[in-house]
Amino acid sequence: MSTANAPAAGGEDIAGTMQALGREARAAAHALALASPERKNSALAAAAEAIEAAMPAILEANRRDLAAAGNRGLSAALLDRLRLDEQRVAAIVRGIGEIAALDDPVGSVLAEWTRPNGLRIQRVRVPLGVIGIIYESRPNVTADAGALCLKSGNAVILRGGSESFHSSRAIHACLVEGLARAGLPGTAIQMVPTTDREAVGYLLREMSQYVDVIVPRGGKSLIARVQADARVPVIGHLEGLCHVYVHASSDVSMARDVVLNAKMRRTGICGAAETLLIDRAALATHWPAIADALRGAGCELRGDAAMRDFDPHVLAASEADWSTEYLEAILSVRVVEGVDEAIAHINRYGSGHTESILAEDPAAVQRFFHDLDSAILLHNASTQFADGGEFGMGAEIGIATGRIHARGPVGAEQLTSYKYLVHGAGQTRP
């Protein structure tokens, strides 16, 4: 812990600093894997208390970060993500409490069967080991990710964005205090003690003996860099180019409400809808209500030629619009001839994150659910439900769009592996 929390290292010391982090993490992972649920929860409770008590210091550290970020001309959106206030810190504290209240995934028996020779086989959840989490300048992720890893029995090495360095460090100190108060190694949650970008490269490329998996959480360029450079397994979170498909059989007012919510509830999250597909047969019946609702909420509409033939107020969409994750109040709209064309569009342009079909026709829903292969498919519900909390999984690190290990919301359970326990009575293999 002493090494891990030393002041920022110079460039040439990065290898030494990171190696020390890795060794400490591996040792802590061993202790954490054996820790009882009670001990882990008591560390979480103590961490939450420590954050509450350290509120003034955390806000002061955040002011330093904000001042520096303002000088560097960060966008309003980024500054908003970086900003903490008393409510947001209180939300962080509540979030840790919610994670503590989750069922402990470790040790649960996933499956159990007996072989004809009498061997009884159990598949039992175990932690993954050491997780590296690379994220952008959102101080709350420091607490969420640290707490989720602790809950699931994993040691973690956190690397947040440099703009949130002081805020994250203040929160991190409270997590370490919680671990220590519960008698767990403070090194179970470590933070890379430098903002040098080379440390990320080292973490991705040189630490496969210490790090079992990397979870990147952030925008496209961060994920792309991690996936290109990592020599360690990655649980990736790509963009959410989410589609809503309005089938002709759908209820008009339900379609209006769900489309509005999917696009406009929060436009900046990965579960926000970016493209609307609408049956030609639904244009006359459904479009006026949907368009009124979206325009009333301030949403810009960009459509294909068929859409603009029907509603000349819709702007022209370019080819690039179909593969653009706007993350703002813009929606691309395409007219389709039915569920097959909707599926073909999503297969071509989608990111495999989340899609919703609005329909009363069960055959169309069945087709949509069977033929599409996104992480989350919804029927008559908003894409904004693509969230671990909304799935009942508690906090999440993100929505995985890869196909390996975890897919969809990544919560405590997804941060585990398993082992087999085989009970015999002297069996030998013939």
Site for a second copy contains 318 (CB under 8 A): no
- Residue 225 Cβ vs a second copy, minimum distance, rounded to whole Å: 13
Residue with tokens 């086989």: 121
Q: Is 221 in the site for a second copy (CB under 8 A)?
A: no
Among residues 213, 270, 331, 359, which is the contact residue for a second copy, using CB under 8 A?
213
Check residue 421 for interaction with a second copy (CB under 8 A): yes
Q: Are 46 and 186 in contact, with CB atoms under 8 Å apart?
A: no
Q: Compare residues 2 and 87 and give the one whose CB is closer to a second copy.
A: 87
Residue position matching structure tokens 């959102």: 138
CA–CA separation, 36 vs 104, rounded Å?
9
Q: How far is the CB of 358 from a second copy (least distance, A)?
A: 8
**Shortest gap between Cβ of 40 and a second copy (angstroms)?**
15
Q: Do 197 and 223 contact (CB within 8 A), yes or no?
A: no
288 CB-side CA count, 13 A? 2
Rounded to the nearest 10°, the torsion over CA 48, 49, 55, 61 is -60
Determine the Cα–Cα distance for residues 100 and 89; give it in Å rounded to an integer.
17
The CB density around residue 160, as the number of other CB atoms within 10 Å, is: 27
CB of 298 to a second copy, least distance (A): 18
Give, to the nearest 10 degrees, the angle between helix 55-71 and helix 165-181.
Answer: 160
DSSP for residue 318: P
Select from 6, 38, 53, 115 the one that contacts a second copy (CB under 8 A): 115
Contact string (CB under 8 A) for a second copy, positions 163-202, x = contact: ----------------------------------------
Binding segment for a second copy (CB under 8 A), chosen from 11-19, 39-47, 90-98, 373-381, is 373-381
Query: Is residue 205 close enough to count as binding a second copy by CB under 8 A?
Result: no
- Residue labelled with tokens 């069967």: 113
**Site for a second copy (CB under 8 A): which residue of 408, 410, 411, 412?**
408
SS3 (DSSP) at 217: strand
Determine if 234 is a binding residue for a second copy (CB under 8 A): yes
Of 223-231, 274-282, 291-299, 325-333, which segment contacts a second copy by CB under 8 A? 223-231
In whole angstroms, the minimum distance from the beta carbon of 385 to a second copy comes to 6
Mapped onto helix, strand or coil, the DSSP state of residue 405 is: coil
Whole-angstrom Cα Rg for the chain: 24
Residue 200 beta carbon to a second copy: minimum distance, rounded to whole angstroms: 17
Q: Judged by CB under 8 A, does residue 73 bind a second copy?
A: no
In the complex, what is the shortest distance from the CB of residue 370 to a second copy, in angstroms, rounded to a whole number? 7
Out of 1, 27, 33, 329, the only residue in the binding site for a second copy (CB under 8 A) is 33
Does the protein bind a second copy through residue 206 (CB under 8 A)? Answer: no
By CB under 8 A, tell whether 101 contacts a second copy: no
- Of 202, 197, 159, 191, the residue nearest 5 (C-alpha): 191
Closest approach of a second copy to the CB of residue 79, in Å:
25
Do 230 and 205 touch, CB atoms closer than 8 A?
yes
Among residues 132, 183, 191, 147, the alpha carbon closest in space to that of 167 is found at 191
What is the separation, in whole angstroms, between the first and last Cα of the chain? 51
Q: Which SS3 state, helix, strand or coil, does residue 301 take?
A: strand
User: Which of 260/336 has CB closer to a second copy?
Assistant: 260
Residues 264-293 that bind a second copy (CB under 8 A): 265
CA 373 to chain centre: 19
Quick one: which of 149, 29, 139 has its CA closest to 92?
139
Beta carbon nearer to a second copy, 164 or 416: 416
Q: Cα(27)–Cα(185) distance, rounded to whole angstroms?
A: 9
Asked if residue 382 binds a second copy (CB under 8 A), the reply is yes
Instruction: List the one residue from 13, 49, 300, 390 that touches a second copy (CB under 8 A).
Output: 390
Q: Which residues bind a second copy (CB under 8 A)?
A: 30, 33-34, 113, 115, 119, 121, 126, 128-129, 208, 212-213, 227-228, 231, 233-235, 251, 254, 257-258, 260-262, 265, 347, 369-371, 373-382, 384-385, 387, 390-392, 402-405, 407-408, 417-429
